[in-house]
Structure 1
């Protein structure tokens, strides 16, 4: 399902959420394309229906064929609130007026999730080194370029740390796809290796156990911070207050909320593979920014076509940014 309805321009956004017509106003909620729109709709519609009921806004799901579509949707105010991964959230914060306000929590209580490399269960590949050694003979399905777990994290830990600045240079063939497509491609032997993550694999296991049985995980990343929810930072305060209250009380006992309602909300969250949300901010992106800088540093350091003067200047710039990030991360502990 693709919904591209727009609302009033940013210049009139202040009046958009003003009383007394609040219940009639519209918020477009962006949902990144981790899998097919049909599956995403099934998972998200119950949650968005509750959001509509409890906030008074008319909530419309906004889908796009790739992550960039949701980022651009927020940039041009066609999306006011969105679920992102950390990498795409970073893009939304940096160039689409985005701001993180809450963070999802893993259904099993984990503080985040993990990126994986997948192969077919019958594959002779059993490690990253096996993949790199045989890459010239392998087809690789990478993630969306704006995906944290599908692209950025394996891009750094699997490739950059092993001296590979671009997977396209070493594999026989490289394509990009969403998590669901990548998992199915491996299970069906359409590609040799793909990226994925722990959250999507749980969905595959629940929905298509026979396909899941054909998948082997050969690499697991360090923990990735859980997915953020982002709003446009220029939204009116009263609108933000309503939305944030909804997220932080959803699935949680609160005055005036029955046990049956809490149970229903918890079940809806379980359909998204989540537990109740927790507050967050743009600071959760600091380790992701660090990864991106490390990756860029390795690429520049290995660029044989760049002059030593330019290289030295660019590396010094990156090192200064990394030092600043280290200080900021230390201050949060």
Structure 2
């Protein structure tokens, strides 16, 4: 039959066309697989949260874990945490891009913002409504050091314990306000110097292992809870001017929507929703924290001023071949500081998405 013959003749061509279409479709699917896979994995890829060491690293990790678990649920991705024993260790982890979000002091944040592509998104707020904390010098209650004059009058006599060089209250503020202002260097003024965290330095004073140590009012509250007997032996010899609270920073090369969602979660945590009381209890595990206020890089200006003051006072007390060399150094310090302030002020607050939006 003619009709049947024509139909039979068309089948090979149709088969070849169908096979070609199927092959093309398969190639397109295979080509799209890497892109699809990347997009499928990205929303659930983990974030690493770096934690400023308070006491020991293990203690810090345990205190933060409940809040970080909530953060992981909100962002729909695992939140890994890292807490090292030293400030320098945390700074190094950020410089190596091993940290995506971090809770750090202003001085560490300043370095991370200027060198490691990080930006400030929030600043700690405390339950007592304070805007900051104070650096202190600790001595024993029955110490012969009753005034700063007693301390200064005997160079090379006292044993000293301080924080790391990146510690705002443990080193930079007392070094600026107490020693550099008197043309002294704490590392050469004392008979001996030990460098440790705030908890261990307070214990060293209480146990008579050193004569004087730096600390801060916030960590002292925690110390009083954990070591009431040792705390009772201490006396505050000196208290600094107000130091702004620590901040939370995030990598600026994360996707903008993810950064905004992280900021949204952190700044709303323990403030809204049906679980406010539970979330507040989780924050109290960290310390007397009421939450985190929205912030940007301009929050670091006070810490830039601290570093500037220390550098300037050191330059003024140094030995120079002539006055012109000293003035050149002072001008460089001033110029660098003004440039940094302009950069910090240029940062703009984020536009946050509505709560619950996907990253």
> TM-score w.r.t. structure 2 length?
0.81
Distance 1:306 1:112 in 2: 41
**More moved, 179-188 vs 47-56:** 47-56
**What are the within-5 Å matches in structure 2 for residues 129-278 of structure 1?**
129-164=149-184, 166-253=185-272, 257-258=273-274, 261-272=275-286, 273-278=288-293
Tell me the CA shift for residue 23 of structure 1. 5.5
Q: How much has 1:33 moved relative to structure 2?
A: 2.3
* Alignment of structure 1 residues 1-333 onto 2, 5 Å: 19-22=39-42, 24-164=44-184, 166-253=185-272, 257-258=273-274, 261-272=275-286, 273-321=288-336
- State the 1:203 CA deviation: 0.5
Please state whether the residue corresponding to 2:156 is helix, strand or coil: helix
Unaligned residue ranges in structure 2 (runs of 5+): 1-34, 348-359
Count the aligned residue pairs.
311
CA distance in 2, matches of 1:223, 1:202: 16
- Structure 1 vs Structure 2 CA RMSD: 2.4
> Which stretch of structure 1 is more off in the superposition, 207-216 or 298-307?
298-307
- What is the rounded CA distance, in whole Å, between the counterparts of 2:98 and 2:197 in structure 1? 22
- 1:115-163 superposed Cα distances (whole Å, 9 cap, x missing partner): 1111112212123222222342111111111111111111111111122
More helix by share: 2
Question: 5+ residue gaps in structure 1?
Answer: 1-14
Distance 1:40 1:198 in 2: 18
- Provide the rounded CA distance (Å) in 2 between the counterparts of 1:245 and 1:51: 10
Q: CA deviation at 1:306?
A: 4.3
For 1:330 and 1:233, the matched residues in 2 are separated by 16
8 Å CA contact 2:61–2:83 kept in 1: the answer is no
CA contact (8 A) 1:143 1:177 kept: yes
Check conservation: 1:23, 1:58, Cα contact below 8 A: no
Shift of 1:328: 9.4
Q: 1:331 to 1:48 in 2, by over 3 A?
A: closer
Paired with 2:266 and 2:345, the residues of 1 have a C-alpha distance of: 28
**What is the CA–CA distance in structure 1 between the aligned matches of 2:43 and 2:199, rounded to whole Å?**
36
**SS across alignment from 1:124:** coil
Q: Choose 55-64 or 313-322, whichever is displaced more.
A: 313-322
In structure 2, distance between residues paired with 1:317 and 1:23: 45
Alpha-carbon distance between aligned partners in 1 of 2:123 and 2:45, rounded to the nearest angstrom: 25
Give the structure with higher Rg (CA): 2
How many Å apart are 1:68 and its aligned residue? 1.5
| Alignment deviations for residues 155-189 of structure 1 (CA, whole Å, 9 cap, x no partner) | 1111111221x211110001111111111111111
Please state how far the C-alpha of 1:313 moved relative to its aligned partner.
0.8
Instruction: Tell me if structure 2 keeps the 8 A contact 1:106–1:113.
Output: no
